Chain A
Amino acid sequence: MIAWSGRRKALMILAFIGPTLLGILFLNIYPIIYNVFISFTNRNQYHPNPDCSVLVTSIIEPKCWPFFKASTGLGTPYTIQSPAFANYETLIGQLATRPGLIAIAEILLCVVPLIVAGQVNKYYNRKISRPISGSGVWIIGLALTILIGWLVNFPNALDQLQTDSDFFIVVFRTILFVAITVPINYIFGLAVALVLNTEYIKGRTFFRTAMIIPWAASTMFIIMSLVWQFFFRDVGVINQLLKIVGINGPTWLNSPTYAFAIIILVNLWFSYPFCFTVILGALQAIPADQYEAAEIDGATYWQQLVNITLPLIRPAVVPAIVLSAIGAGGFQMFGTVWAITTGGPSRGAGVPGATELVMVYAYKQVFQFNAYAKAGAFAVIIFIFLFIMTIYSLRITRITEGAFE
């Protein structure tokens, strides 16, 4: 649109996007660089301060900048680790040794049949006829996975890895959390949306409004999480109700399993209104004649659901699922867990607690143990993972498609 060019154009564009770039540079890119740098040092509670005579440090540490130099603390300064990757080594621990690698390989082997099943289905979907139904392929794949898991002694491999490294425990548990919480959120969202999308239910507006309420509350998750925590306290609401029935309720938040389940339940409360809204919007966009045609052909409710509804809402729902899986309601979950369990219940000193997800672990490393360098290395690994996931999700969700014309 802009016909002119040269310096004037460059200045104009800079004036428009300059403030944004400046902000991003200082508060997004600088922290990344800082984390990468700090991950190669031994900065921790014993070496908290920068050594401004080192060139790199004096550039990166705000405390060393000539303008602000006054505030450099006393304490022993931190130095670059030797070898430089020492933090990464302690973090990943025994994963890189022989038993660790074998255990990883065994776990990966268990996933292979599922991937193959997915590919086989993809292949047959392009054919006119298929020798075996889609769910059949999945069942065979699942059976093979269980068989291989039994052969290589999957739980054993898992135990091996869990005793070896904090990093593995935390990441594994976070992935487990995402794998449970996201499907549950969307299944409930789907169920509510399907019921509310029918015509014979009375008071749909009321129900819809009522179910939006947790969404509004989720902007102030810290307060509602504290309330939920109260429900599950030793003398909380749930246990009081159980007592009336004559059951002595457990101390919910002291049990690793219950604590994990509670986190998932609370996250369901916060998240399903959003899932429900997305799905309802997609459902209302499906033309009614599709169902009429199916009706004439004698399709049952389930057949309509599986063959019409689900495939047609897919394009709207998949991006939302992917984004919530890698976002703050999934992999980067922090606030809710922090308010309810602060990562506990503890499983012994120096071992991550039962609900210590990735972000909670990182937060604790920094603000409770002052292990800045270790947390930096952790941050770098997590960032690489999230970076890849983000790029990948851009591809499958096609959010950026058409954004560059």
Chain B
Amino acid sequence: MTRKPKTFAVFIQYLFLVLMTIFALYPIWFVILASGRVGQRLFTLNLLGMFIPTEFNFDNYQIMLAGQQQPFLLWMRNSAFVAALTTIACLLIATSAAFAFSRFRFYGREAALILLLAIQAFPAVLSLVPVAQLLTAFGLYANLWGLVIAYVVGNLVFTTWLLKGYFDTIPIEIEEAAMIDGCGPIQSFLLIGLPMARPALAVTALLAFMGGWGEFVFASVLVPSPATRRTLMVGMYQIANSPAVPWGLFAAGAVMTIIPVMIVYLYFQRYLIGGLTLGGVKG
């Protein structure tokens, strides 16, 4: 596109970009403004206050963090616990499977790979009842460990495919050379495969963590109560659906939930974009 564009066309393009940026940022900006307002309402009669911070104080944040009304920090800890365990377990289980699918040739390998994808077509919402029953039977219902198990399995297929795709791109010659020197499959997995797949592992870990941190449906069904055991998303949903909604607190909680994730996302953006297309699996 070497042609010099007309001024009018450039103006239209800027206008479009600015509008889209406002569209993208305003909801977040709105929550930040609302979190700093006195009183438990999101709207303000002050027109200017909808767009710029005419008043801002940290009362709502203080109340949320003090945990007088809602055990916010506890929710945050629960979410972090679930997300972290999910990430670790998912990496442990899926990397070994992905390595086996990538490196070993065995009967039923292709069928298993396709089957994994096809089974994934069963909508998660519809498997909630049997999963809940199974966890009840094992005494893991309303328990964060049960939630971790559900998340790990929910992530397995995507993760396995992503990592398998990445292992496929690692030249096999290195491992063959190691084999000649007497390296077994387990050693070649631990000492060669894992270190070389580090970028893919990082992306997988990030995605799994985000997934566990932000998931709502499973958390709301599998760990509905008590309030101290809820995850962040379920807790925030409960706040927004209580009879007299303390919107100021909700907004403060939302800011504290979203901003850290946003920073992580922006920081790792480049890797994420690369990582999604990494194994050939996009979505």
Interface residues of A (CB under 8 A from B): 1-2, 9-10, 12-13, 15-17, 19-21, 23-24, 26-32, 34-35, 61-63, 65, 67-68, 71, 188, 191-192, 195-196, 198-201, 207, 209-217, 219-224, 226-228, 230-231, 235-237, 240-241, 244, 269, 273, 277-278, 281, 291-292, 295, 301, 304, 319-320, 323-324, 326-327, 332, 334-335, 338-339, 358-359, 362-363, 366-367, 372, 375, 378-379, 382-383, 386-387, 389-391, 394, 399-400, 402-404
Contact = CB atoms under 8 A, between A and B. Distances in A.
A390 B118 contact: yes
Kindly list the 5 A-B residue pairs having the minimum CB-CB distance in the complex, ordered from nearest: A31-B127, A62-B137, A216-B265, A16-B100, A20-B97
A295 B3 contact: yes
* Chain B residues touching A, majority SS: helix
Contact of B280 (A26, A191, A383, A403): A403
Interface string B133-148: 1101110000000000
B118 A201 contact: no
A237 B3 contact: no
A403 B129 contact: no
Nearest to B189: A16
A181 to B, nearest CB: 16
Interface string B148-160: 0110111011001
Given A1-B105, A24-B157, A222-B216, 11 more contacts: A12-B186, A17-B97, A19-B92, A27-B153, A211-B20, A213-B262, A214-B27, A216-B264, A230-B247, A269-B27, A382-B126
B203 interface: no
A199 B1 CA distance: 9
B233 A223 contact: yes
Interface in B188-206: 189
Interface stretch (B52-60, B61-69, B168-176): B168-176
A212 B27 contact: no
Contacts of B136: 62-63, 71
B233 A27 contact: no
Contacts of A27: 127, 131, 134, 149-150, 153-154
Nearest to B44: A240
B73 interface: no
B278 interface: no
Contacts, number: 292
Contacts of A273: 24
A217 B112 CA distance: 34
A216 B213 CA distance: 12
Contacts of B27: 214, 217, 224, 227-228, 231, 269
A28 B127 contact: yes
Given A367-B221, A390-B121, A223 B127 contact: no
B38 interface: no
Contacts of A2: 103-105, 185
Interface string B18-29: 001101110110
Interface of B: 1-5, 10, 13-14, 16-17, 20-21, 23-25, 27-28, 30-31, 42-43, 45, 47, 50, 92-94, 96-97, 99-101, 103-106, 109-110, 112-114, 116-123, 125-131, 133-134, 136-138, 149-150, 152-154, 156-157, 160, 164-165, 168, 172, 175-176, 179, 185-186, 189, 210-211, 213-214, 216-217, 221, 233, 236-237, 240, 247, 250, 254, 257-258, 261-262, 264-266, 269, 273, 277, 280-283
A400 B113 CA distance: 9
B187 to A, nearest CB: 12
Contacts of A29: 119
Interface centre among B45, B221, B262 (most CB of A within 10 A): B262
Contacts of B103: 1-2
B160 A1 contact: no
B14 A201 contact: yes
Contacts of A28: 119-120, 122, 127, 153, 157
A7 B219 CA distance: 41
Contact of B265 (A9, A196, A212, A235): A212
A278 B282 contact: yes
Given A26-B153, A362-B125, A213 B28 contact: yes
26 contacts: A16-B97, A16-B104, A16-B189, A19-B97, A20-B156, A24-B116, A24-B157, A28-B153, A35-B127, A61-B133, A63-B136, A67-B137, A192-B20, A210-B21, A214-B27, A216-B264, A216-B266, A219-B210, A223-B233, A277-B273, A338-B217, A359-B123, A383-B122, A386-B121, A387-B118, A403-B165
A386 B213 contact: no
A219 B280 CA distance: 21
Contacts of B114: 394, 400
Given A30-B134, A366-B128, A219 B211 contact: yes
Interface centre among B30, B103, B153 (most CB of A within 10 A): B153
Contact of A222 (B30, B118, B121, B237): B237
A323 B120 CA distance: 12
Contact of A219 (B92, B214, B254): B214
Contacts of B277: 281
